[in-house]
């Protein structure tokens, strides 16, 4: 029964982002922001996350206030969804975006930590629980696309806000157990980690692939808009991208046993690079379905 709460959280969490996040650049373009300003707004998120995630999770572990830290992040997301459509100036938008990313940064990590705790001896089943996020994105992305096409981008903000309100309540069902992460950090665990060459390689590769992933996620919809795609077609493209995640998450524990984690990690990065090159080569929205699938 405990699995239903993290599954539901991931469904709502990623469903909320699917309703709005891919439209951010289009929203900024509608405000008349320059390319440099848009680049700053989209680029500041991962930089803030890089600092705010360990700070937020460390604070949660040290104070044992995991639900409070997560709740603050989700509450900030609700404020963000309500206030952002009202803002017009770049400085005001930039400040709100920075605050939003700072408070939201630890939410995903805290959810993963709670999920692993609640799974107990079934930690290998994490992938199947995380499928909730895949279903959430896959279902709500095309729905958001249709609604935005017919009612405007404002409906995306309302979807995002409403889902985050519901998810705030779901998040209070998480169980974090007796976390020891704060003690590990205070004893210099992070510094010891960075002295390991294998971890440095992993972190560097994850950082660089993250930059690529975030770039594609941020500019995919504007790129499709330049092709003449409708918001409905954009949502379907997101749906196609999630379909391939289903077998990966469902059989993830078998794949790790059959192939080593390093090989799977490198293969995933290589395939993502190939997909990005294919995106650049097409000029028709329909072809995006094939590449995403």
Q: Give the structural domain span for 122.
A: 4-292
C-alpha–C-alpha distance, residues 133 and 163, integer Å = 13
Instruction: Per residue of the chain (293 residues), give pLDDT as tens.
Output: 567 899 999 999 999 999 999 999 999 999 999 999 999 999 888 889 888 988 999 899 899 999 999 999 999 999 999 999 999 999 999 999 999 999 999 999 999 999 988 888 787 778 888 889 999 999 999 999 999 999 999 999 999 999 999 999 999 999 887 654 444 444 445 566 666 677 777 777 777 777 777 777 788 898 889 888 899 999 988 888 787 777 777 776 677 777 777 777 788 888 888 888 888 888 888 888 878 76
Residue 29 sits in a domain whose CATH number is: 1.20.1250.20
The total number of structural domains that make up the chain? 1
Cβ pair 259, 271 in contact under 8 A: no
C-alpha–C-alpha distance, residues 134 and 138, integer Å = 6
């Amino acid at each position: 029964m405990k699995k239903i709460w993290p599954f539901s959280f991931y469904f709502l969490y990623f469903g909320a982002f699917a309703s709005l996040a891919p439209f951010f650049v289009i929203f900024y373009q509608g405000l008349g922001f320059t390319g440099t300003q848009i680049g700053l707004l989209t680029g500041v998120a991962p930089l803030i996350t890089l600092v705010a995630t360990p700070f937020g999770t460390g604070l949660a572990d040290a104070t044992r206030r995991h639900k409070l830290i997560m709740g603050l992040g989700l509450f900030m997301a609700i404020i963000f969804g309500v206030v952002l459509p009202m803002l017009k100036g770049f400085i005001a938008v930039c400040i709100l975006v920075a605050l939003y990313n700072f408070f939201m940064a630890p939410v995903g990590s805290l959810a993963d930590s709670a999920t692993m705790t609640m799974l107990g001896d079934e930690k290998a089943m994490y992938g199947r629980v995380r499928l909730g996020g895949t279903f959430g994105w896959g279902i709500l992305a095309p729905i958001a696309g249709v609604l935005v096409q017919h009612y405007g981008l404002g409906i995306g903000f309302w979807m995002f806000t409403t889902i985050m309100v519901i998810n705030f309540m779901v998040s209070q069902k998480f169980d974090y157990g007796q976390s020891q992460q704060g003690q590990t950090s205070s004893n210099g665990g992070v510094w010891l980690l960075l002295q390991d060459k294998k971890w440095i390689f992993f972190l560097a590769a994850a950082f660089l692939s993250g930059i690529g992933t975030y770039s594609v996620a941020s500019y995919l919809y504007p790129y499709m808009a330049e092709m003449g795609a409708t918001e409905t077609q954009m949502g379907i493209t997101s749906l196609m991208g999630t379909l391939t995640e289903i077998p990966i998450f469902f059989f993830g524990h078998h794949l790790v046993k059959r192939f080593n984690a390093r090989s799977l990690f490198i293969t995933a990065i290589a395939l993502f690079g190939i997909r990005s090159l294919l995106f650049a080569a097409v000029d028709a929205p329909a072809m995006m379905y094939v590449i995403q699938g």
